[in-house]
């Protein structure tokens, strides 16, 4: 892996920012109206080397340090939270392929993931189960050289565009404890028995592709089993540290962006004959937000460094995920209030940010689950 040099990393960030200013910023509002980011943008990302930067060179990637991935996440979030589907592809789904895929699977799939020809998704959530993965009802029974997959998934990011979907399923529904029966199957576009449902309409993240998926006697080749049968739950637990760190990082960037635009607004907006930034209440509110954002960044930088080095920091990442997403929601509410009536208008960025930030405390494990993880690791409650 190529280690990040600060000057090179800064040039990389600036180059990517210019790419986004040309290829994403002018089109973002239209993507929001269309409720979808076009595949053509994914292809441009791939052609310019912005997809899956940490994938090894022999599979088409750059073999880059994870700090380059962090820079991509940050710059995309500054454009808009709807680009989260690309972050999910880069840093959440593809790492399952690199960590648990066979050499044949890597050769077959990773080059397309890097080029943008293959878009990925991971299907965990079901209509009857959210964070309770041990009780999923999607099943896969083996018949010779195929698994026959049956079930339904919902709230799946990249569900409409996805060409490869890692499906969390039960290959042994009778296993005790239940989580030992979970496996991961990679379902490819066009597999018989696989159908996409409707593109889901959400409160926010309008351009983020989110869908329902259906599997009816879906015949998946055994060679598409990811890792070992019955080990799926452990793979999920191993990868959730990075997923939750990505969410925490994105929430922090969103908070910083909301603060930045609001600071500019309160310096210019006048009321009662002077800028509203001169009122003590505004000053105190801005000072409090600035402090929380700065504290959050310091914590994040420590966790990013530990994660790069392979340190188990699940407890601290769980803390960061719940605290930073809740902090970002507070920032959104306070910034909208400081905008007054204009904050409720679509033409002001704070309106979109206010809508988009709410779900961050829900996905990648609700913040209540994060607190439960922290409590268990403190030696409290069941399973300590």
- Give residue for tokens 């799946």: 156
What is the rounded distance in angstroms from the CA atom of residue 311 to the CA atom of residue 323? Answer: 21
In this structure, the dihedral spanned by the alpha carbons of residues 321, 322, 323 and 326, taken in order and rounded to 10 degrees, is 110
The single residue of 229, 243, 257, 292 carrying the catalytic annotation is 243
- The terminus-to-terminus CA distance of the chain in angstroms comes to 36
Q: What are phi and psi of 317, to 5 degrees?
A: -65, -40
Cα distances from 106 to residues 46, 52, 114, 169, 303, in angstroms, run 17, 13, 11, 21, 29
3-state SS track over 124-159: CCECCECCCHHHCCCEEEEECCEEEEEEEEEEEECC
Contact 270, 276 (CB under 8 A): yes
Q: In the chain, count H helices and then E strands.
A: 12, 10
Contacts of 74 (CB under 8 A, 6+ apart): 13, 249, 253
What is the rounded distance in angstroms from the CA atom of residue 293 to the CA atom of residue 256? Answer: 7
Active site residue 243: yes
What is the rounded distance in angstroms from the CA atom of residue 55 to the CA atom of residue 75? Answer: 20
Residue numbers annotated as active site: 243
């Amino acid at each position: 892996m190529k280690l990040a040099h600060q000057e090179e990393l800064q040039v990389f960030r600036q180059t990517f920012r210019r790419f986004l200013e040309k290829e994403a910023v002018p089109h973002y509002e239209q993507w929001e109206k269309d409720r979808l980011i076009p595949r053509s943008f994914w292809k441009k990302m791939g052609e310019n080397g912005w997809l899956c930067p940490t994938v090894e060179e022999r599979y088409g990637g750059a073999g880059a340090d994870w700090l380059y991935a962090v820079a991509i996440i940050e710059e995309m979030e500054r454009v808009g939270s709807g680009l989260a589907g690309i972050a999910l592809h880069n840093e959440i789904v593809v790492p399952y392929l690199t960590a648990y895929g066979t050499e044949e699977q890597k050769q077959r799939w990773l080059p397309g993931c890097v080029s943008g020809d293959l878009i990925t998704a991971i299907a965990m959530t079901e209509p009857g189960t959210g964070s309770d993965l041990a009780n999923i009802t999607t099943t896969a029974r083996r018949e010779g050289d195929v698994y026959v997959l049956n079930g339904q998934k919902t709230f799946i990011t990249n569900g409409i565009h996805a060409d490869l979907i890692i499906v969390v399923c039960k290959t042994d529904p009778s296993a005790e404890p239940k989580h030992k029966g979970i496996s991961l199957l990679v379902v490819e576009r066009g597999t018989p028995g696989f159908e996409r449902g409707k593109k889901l309409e959400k409160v926010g993240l309008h351009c983020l592709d989110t869908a329902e998926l259906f599997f009816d006697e879906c015949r998946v080749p055994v060679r598409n089993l990811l890792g070992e049968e019955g080990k799926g739950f452990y793979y999920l637990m191993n990868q959730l540290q990075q997923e939750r760190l990505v969410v925490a990082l994105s929430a922090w960037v969103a908070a910083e962006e909301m603060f930045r635009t609001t600071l500019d607004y309160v310096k210019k907006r006048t009321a009662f004959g002077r800028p509203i930034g001169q009122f003590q209440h505004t000053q105190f509110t801005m000072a409090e937000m600035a402090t929380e954002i700065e504290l959050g960044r310091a914590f994040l930088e420590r966790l990013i460094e530990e994660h790069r080095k392979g340190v188990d920091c699940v407890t601290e990442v769980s803390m960061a995920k719940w605290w930073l997403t809740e902090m970002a929601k507070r920032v959104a509410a306070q910034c909208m209030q400081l905008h007054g009536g204009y904050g409720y208008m679509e033409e002001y960025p704070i309106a979109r940010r206010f809508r988009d930030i709410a779900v961050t405390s829900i996905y990648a494990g609700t913040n209540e689950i994060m607190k439960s993880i922290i409590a268990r690791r403190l030696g409290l409650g069941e399973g300590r």
